[in-house]
Amino acid sequence: MGLTRARIAVDAMGGDYAPEEIVAGAIMAAAELDLDVLLVGDKQQIDSLVKKHGVKDLAQIEVIHAEDVITMKEEPLTGIRRKPKASINVAMDLVKRKKADAVVSAGHSGAAMASALLRLGRLKGIERPAIGAVLPTIVPDKSVIVLDVGANVDSKAKYLEKFALMGTIYSRYVLGHQEPKVGLLNIGEESSKGNELALQTHQLLTDNPQIPFLGNAEGRDVLSGGFDVIVCDGFVGNIVLKFAEAIGEVMLQIMKEELPKGWRGKLGTALLKPNLGDIKRRIDRAEHGGALLFGVAGICIISHGSSRRGSMFNAIRLAKEAIDNEVLEKIKANNNQQIEEAKNHTETASASSK
């Protein structure tokens, strides 16, 4: 990236608990993850919070003033155009000017995506971006990436094919799956199942040698560990994501309410305390931090609007992992290869017809 240490711009004003929790999580990340944080937002508020948290060494933390913020009630495109000095826009501009390697925001997700598209632009060969969320599976220490989970309500088969390619790269180089298993979310395992979009996408994924396509995945397969990449349109993906998050919250709440009941429960809870912590880390959405916006010419992590410091810490960690593993560069190289192969195929077909 041309920078010796990862420099991550954080939209300090975005989110339900901004700037207090966002700043706290960013300070934690700067201290523990060996990176520099650029806190973007109201300088007076942020400076006060940094001082409140007792930060003495400011070498890893820089405050960049932004005079405005885009609220959740605003229409995304209108908001980013009407407020060029909003915190999310200023953060994106830092990446565009190569002053930062990534942006992390828990603010308006639509505004973050629109700002990324307008300021950073799409990668060559990518027609639509996708939001990819990493979820835990029932297999210990194994995650699955699901995309798209909300960037595109309506999709075409060729978009989903690109989502599968980008998800494969992320799964291989960040999640550590050397031979990722890619699945298409559908209502049945058979290739004949699904609507027109599913049928067309299935054929494209089958025919693409760069995609290790295993076949259709049903809803029960998403968290089974049998797949490393799950591809779907943003409408379905967002429902899957929110449902998975809700299941995690329900499980945590049930354990909190039921385990301590009676003296046996209290004794068992005390004995199982270390294990319960591990369970929480596996299923709590805060542990996953956020989702990567694939297909734009920069690294952008979209975090939960309800993010607190722990979730923000993990969102920044996700950004650093994407930087360290050069995900953006690998996606670019893959796209360029595909474009070149398509060009050569067209030229060969044209020459043969003469």
Q: How confident is the model at residue 348 (pLDDT cuts 50, 70, 90)?
A: low
Residues constituting the chain:
354
Higher pLDDT, 252 or 35: 35
Q: How confident is the model at residue 267 (pLDDT cuts 50, 70, 90)?
A: low
Average pLDDT over residues 41-65: 88
Nearest to 294 by CA among 323, 328, 334, 335: 328
Distance of alpha carbon 291 from alpha carbon 303, whole angstroms: 6
- Could you tell me if 323 and 301 are in contact, meaning their C-beta atoms sit under 8 angstroms apart? no
pLDDT at 278: 60
pLDDT digits (tens, 9 = 90+) for 118-131: 999 999 889 999 99
Of the listed ranges 9-13, 237-241, 286-290, the one predicted with least confidence:
286-290
Indicate the domain borders of the chain. Answer: 1-126+295-348, 131-287
Which residues is 122 bridged to in the sheet?
296
Q: How confident is the model at residue 1 (pLDDT cuts 50, 70, 90)?
A: very low
Nearest to 89 by CA among 102, 75, 70, 73: 70
User: 């980013």: which residue's tokens?
Assistant: 80
Q: Which residues of 202-235 are buried (b: 16+ CB within 10 A; e: fewer)?
A: bebbeebeebbbbbbbeeebbbebbbbbbbbbbe
**Architecture of the structural domain at 131-287:** 3-Layer(aba) Sandwich (3.40)
Distance of alpha carbon 201 from alpha carbon 219, whole angstroms: 17
Distance of alpha carbon 99 from alpha carbon 92, whole angstroms: 10
**What's at 278, amino acid-wise?**
D
- Fold entry, domain 1-126+295-348: Isopropylmalate Dehydrogenase (3.40.718)
Structure tokens at 132: 């990819």
pLDDT digits (tens, 9 = 90+) for 184-240: 999 999 999 999 999 999 999 999 999 999 999 999 999 999 999 999 999 999 999
Q: Using only C-alpha atoms, what is the Rg of the chain? A: 21
Check residue 286 and report its DSSP letter: G
Nearest to 222 by CA among 250, 183, 194: 183
Residues sharing a CB contact under 8 Å with residue 34, sequence separation 6 or more, in sequence order: 5, 6
pTM of the shown model: 0.86
Q: DSSP secondary structure string, 184-241?
A: EE-SSSSTT-S-HHHHHHHHHHHH-TTS-EEEEE-GGGTTSSS-SEEE--HHHHHHHH
Q: Which residues of 90-117 are buried (b: 16+ CB within 10 A; e: fewer)?
A: bbbbbbbeeebbbbbbbbbbbbbbbbbb
